[in-house]
Amino acid sequence: MGCPHCCAFCNQHSISGEAREDGVPSEAEVLEAVHTAAQASADYTELAFFGGSFTAIDRAYMLKLLAVAKACIASGMVDGIRISTRPDYINAEILEILKAHGVTAIELGAQSMIPSVLELANRGHTAEDVVQASKLIREYGFSLGLQMMVDLPGDTPEGAAQTAQQLAALKPDTVRIYPAITLKGTQMAAMYYGGEYLPMGLDKCVSLCAQLLLYFEDKGIRVIKLGLQDEPSLRKAYIAGAFHPAFRELCEGEIYYSSALHELEAIGSKATLCTIELARGETSKMIGQNRRNLERLASLGYRIKVVESRELKVREIRIKP
Ligand code: SF4
């Protein structure tokens, strides 16, 4: 919605008008969406204004949407309101408004904490903006969510690890990790075609994001999204980048593959069939998509059988030679 910025990875300017010919969602449409969603039973339901910079939209329109959302909370149809926005569109006045309307969680698109990467991505905000906005959001008692992007132009795995460390230090409740995708009509597309930007490829990106996932989990921070939503508009605009409809599953599979390989190497028995025990419901991740993990282990000479055990927690494995 009329975002004044032009991030290198974003195609909002080239798609504006395509998504909705009749303009923006009305209050009635928001209410209708809530009614539809409320029919599905859930313990905790949030109304989320996502996919843009909510606090940067026209103020009168933002207040109209918030008024509908507040009414949904008052009537018990939803339990909380979640919004996403840019770090430079957070200040005390905005937070007062959000608080007064019952907003519970705020997610910031941080993307990177590396100044040169933010600059190349044309983000228009600094890493310090992320720090200040996050502190203010926490001071006001909102749940804080931070979103990071990996594989942006100029970024490296070390840069992504540094970004993750700096984001974790801000003590977010939740994190989302997105691989940068080159879309038609973006500055990144021009960089890609001009040879100035080469994405790292799916396998490397999966391996990096698997490490980031473990890192945040070790810090007790929930990663609520890993990879982009598979949508027709994304497929239509896709040029390059680590997109996979089951990206998170690939990352979780990679975690199991790495720890299994590590332990198998420590045991050092290639000749005999080894049993890998893991938590219930985790077998498909150990096996990997299209048996990818088992095949990789087999190519290294390891013969594996996978069984589930009630004794083990998610991510834990036990190998019996
Ligand atoms: S701030 Fe968000 S909507 Fe605006 S250009 Fe950047 S990514 Fe796109």
For each of the domains in the chain, give its residue range(s) and CATH number, in order of start.
25-82 (no CATH), 86-93+104-245 (3.30.750.200), 256-320 (3.30.300)
The CA 104 to ligand 1 mean position distance, Å, reads: 23
Structure tokens at 223: 């990663």
| pLDDT at residue 34, as a whole number | 87
Question: Which residues, other chains included, contact 231 with Cβ-Cβ below 8 Å and sequence gap of 6+?
Answer: none
Q: Which of 253, 307, 248 is nearest to 280 (CA)?
A: 307
On average, the pLDDT of the chain sits at 92
Any ligand 1 atom below 6 A from CB of 172:
no
Q: Which residue positions in the chain have pLDDT lower than 70?
A: 1-2, 13-23, 41, 271
Any ligand 1 atom below 6 A from CB of 10:
yes
Helix (H, G, I), strand (E, B) or coil at 124: coil
Q: How many C-beta atoms surround the C-beta of residue 100 within 10 A?
A: 10
Which atom in ligand 1 lies closest to the alpha carbon of residue 3? 4
69: left (phi over 0), alpha (psi -120 to 50) or beta: alpha
| CA atoms 200, 201, 203, 208: torsion sign | positive
User: Ligand 1, from 10, 108, 111: best to mutate by most atoms within 8 Å of Cβ?
Assistant: 10
User: Ligand 1, from 7, 176, 188: best to mutate by most atoms within 8 Å of Cβ?
Assistant: 7
Please give the Cα distance from 209 to 223 (Å, whole number): 11
Structure tokens at 188: 């990144």
